[in-house]
Structure 1
Amino acid sequence: MTEIIGEDSKGQRIDNFLIKRLKNVPKSHIYQLLRSGQVRLNSKRIGADCHLQLGDMVRIPPVRMAERSSALRKKVTKSQFIPFEILFEDEALIVINKPAGVAVHGGSGVSFGVIEQLRAQHPDWKFLELVHRLDRETSGILLLAKNRAALVELHRVIRAGMMEKRYLTLVKGKWRNTRQSVKLFLRKYVTPAGERRVAVIADGKGGEEGKSAHTVFNLKKSWQNFSLLEAELKTGRTHQIRVHLAHLDFPIAGDDKYGDFALNRELMRLGPERGLKRMFLHAFIVEVTHPVTGRKLRIEAPLTEDLRKFLLELDADSTPLCP
């Protein structure tokens, strides 16, 4: 099979291009095809880091694809459409306010994530890709690119640390410092049950397994047993805020992976009117330079109704201690 590169793939690495085209082929096999020269670009062998140009001809050899699960073969129907709140949209970018409980993409038991939903709702869009990710139970600002050039530029901005992302989170305990910078190395691992997790490296060193993670926490408000924090992400590691806070013994309320499970059960038993049914983590501010116009964008998403209501319950139960 030979494919001619169009605008939607211009500038993309060949390995990422193949991973997207051959969705059911293991990545290890895709890299083996590249190493063995079975994939050709303009009739020449190429490496995995080669970037595609408009009009390039990519020869993809015949490969056997694993059968997709029945859940992922299904299409999103109109009755299943989620009405996302759109915070910003133009020809290059769409920004939504993601609800808690919705994954950003399908897989791992989730049939239709945000990306599948939006593609189904807008079949005329030729290109749509996630700029970054949010955990399933995290609500708030999510950016998606509507063309390849915008995606590449936004990824460059993120790698350079020029996108500002701020979250609001409620933690167990009374946070003392008005502003606190946390720098810790994190590593990923898999539990005996096969679940992916992240942990702080005890000796404080990175090495091959660990990556440096930097979060700045600002105290917004505190109660007898809880504190509301603003978290500024200086790096974007998996579960960074959650793991940093759990390591400091200030677990996020409602966190089902790194939190205080006894507290979570207690909060849920308070009932639908007073309880907390999910993790209190919300992406509420993003500041970034627009990938096309170059102007500064500041996008805000207020706290969701359930999280606002829980804070009001805290106010009603006790007198807040302001920093």
Structure 2
Amino acid sequence: MKHIIGVNPEPPGQQVKTVLVDGEGAGQRLDNFLMRCLKGVPKTHIYRIIRSGEVRINKGRVRADTRVAAGDLVRLPPVRVAQRDVPLPGPASTLGRGRVAVPVQSFPVLFEDDYFLAIDKPAGVAVHGGSGVAFGVIEQLRMARPGAVFLELVHRLDRETSGVLLVAKRRSALKHLQDQFRQRETGKTYLAVVVGHWPTNKKVLDKPLHKYLVPMADGPQGGERRVKVVAKDHPDGMPSLSLVKLRATNVPTAGGLAQAFSLLEVTIKTGRTHQIRVHLASEGMPIAGDDKYGNFDTNKALARATGPGSLARMFLHAWRFECQHPASGERMEIRSELPPDLLGFLRVALPGACV
């Protein structure tokens, strides 16, 4: 529990506050600690007040990656909290380009106890705020559970990926689960439909990956993040391992488009950015609907199709997650069933597939 121990006599909403860090908050990065203290404040603003020196620890300037310790005094400047009725419209509303803003009540809970919860994340929702998104999954959970002392993402999913997402409710659980990730003791299995016939003997993809930025047209600064396969001796290549199992393949007519598709089970042993998407695309068989690494003509045709054979987003779903419970050590398996849009497409594109 954080304790506010000092407030300057200023108008409501314009106070400078001093927060005492307790044992539960100890060890957190400063940016993550502030996201808990300043619920409803956009992530971009939190980084701005850190960079400007308005946030201080024990009266000293600090960086976003500074770790807070028990007993630290954190100075919080006056901030304005965003209005909740703007970023939280109804479940059917959109925020442009297919981005859906879903209220937290509609996140189905697959598992929950005193240590962590697993939610069924819908496609189109970012896991956290930033890059033009005011409220992601974690911000919405914190607003919906104002009494929660601790809520932190254990891992991440791409915005367009649906499925199992873990959130820790205790710092000890977060550390234990993330240690399992680092030691490759978890099992993260996704369902993906790729464009093409996947060979049954192609089971291991161990190509190193490298992140880079696509230059923007109006200047060298910034750009959109991309990932590519690089040679094994590339100095910036990150070892990446994906295990692939072919579930079904066919040559259907999906929404009037004659195209080969394959349903794959992909288990990742490393958690690199866009790992599955880039590994599959590097084999010449990108994920159907992938707008970054996919077959754009096929994607366009699928999006324009009518009925269940249409596909308006990437067919990548975090289907199964396996881990040891952070307290009991019991081996657990959590599953998320395919959402209706992906299931409808699968029944047309691969009618013999069973999920």
TM interval, shorter chain, is 0.7 to 0.9
**TM-aligned CA distance change 1:57 to 1:257, over 3 Å:** same
Deviates more, 1:169-178 or 1:254-263: 169-178
The answer as to whether partners of 2:247 and 2:353 remain within 8 angstroms in 1 is no
Of residues 242, 245, 258, the one that matches 2:293 is 258
2:186 equivalent to 1:159: no
* Cα distance in 2 between the residues matched to 1:314 and 1:87: 28
The answer as to whether partners of 1:19 and 1:27 remain within 8 angstroms in 2 is no
Structure 2 counterpart SS, 1:184? coil
2:248 equivalent to 1:221: yes
Q: Which residue of 1 aligns with 2:24?
A: 8
* Cα distance in 2 between the residues matched to 1:88 and 1:211: 32
The answer as to whether partners of 1:170 and 1:281 remain within 8 angstroms in 2 is yes
Structure 1 counterpart SS, 2:185? coil
Q: How does 1:88-103 map to 2 (within 5 A)?
A: 88-103=111-126
The answer as to whether partners of 1:253 and 1:260 remain within 8 angstroms in 2 is yes
Q: Which residue of 2 aligns with 1:170?
A: 193
**TM-aligned CA distance change 1:126 to 1:272, over 3 Å:** farther
The answer as to whether partners of 2:31 and 2:46 remain within 8 angstroms in 1 is no
* Cα distance in 2 between the residues matched to 1:214 and 1:173: 21
The answer as to whether partners of 2:261 and 2:350 remain within 8 angstroms in 1 is no
Quote how far apart the aligned CAs of 1:268 are.
1.1
Of residues 337, 344, 350, the one that matches 1:302 is 337
1:258-303 deviations in whole A, cap 9, x for unaligned?
A: 1000000011121143211110000011000111222111101111
2:222 equivalent to 1:199: no
User: Which residue identity does 1:293 align to in structure 2?
Assistant: S
Structure 2 counterpart SS, 1:191? strand
* Cα distance in 2 between the residues matched to 1:170 and 1:159: 27
Deviates more, 1:83-92 or 1:186-195: 186-195
Of residues 115, 128, 138, the one that matches 1:115 is 138
RMSD (Å) for aligned C-alpha atoms: 3.2
Deviates more, 1:278-287 or 1:119-128: 119-128
* Cα distance in 1 between the residues matched to 2:211 and 2:353: 36
Of residues 243, 248, 264, the one that matches 2:283 is 248
TM-score by length of 2: 0.75
Of residues 182, 185, 206, the one that matches 2:205 is 182
| Paired residue total | 303
Q: Which residue of 2 aligns with 1:57?
A: 72
* Cα distance in 2 between the residues matched to 1:94 and 1:259: 33
Q: Which runs of 5+ in 2 are unaligned?
A: 1-16, 91-102, 217-222, 252-259
Structure 1 counterpart SS, 2:239? strand
**TM-aligned CA distance change 1:13 to 1:84, over 3 Å:** closer
Deviates more, 1:140-149 or 1:177-186: 177-186
1:83-106 deviations in whole A, cap 9, x for unaligned?
A: 111100011111011111111112
* Cα distance in 2 between the residues matched to 1:15 and 1:120: 17
* Cα distance in 1 between the residues matched to 2:304 and 2:64: 52
Of residues 129, 132, 138, the one that matches 1:106 is 129
2:230 equivalent to 1:230: no
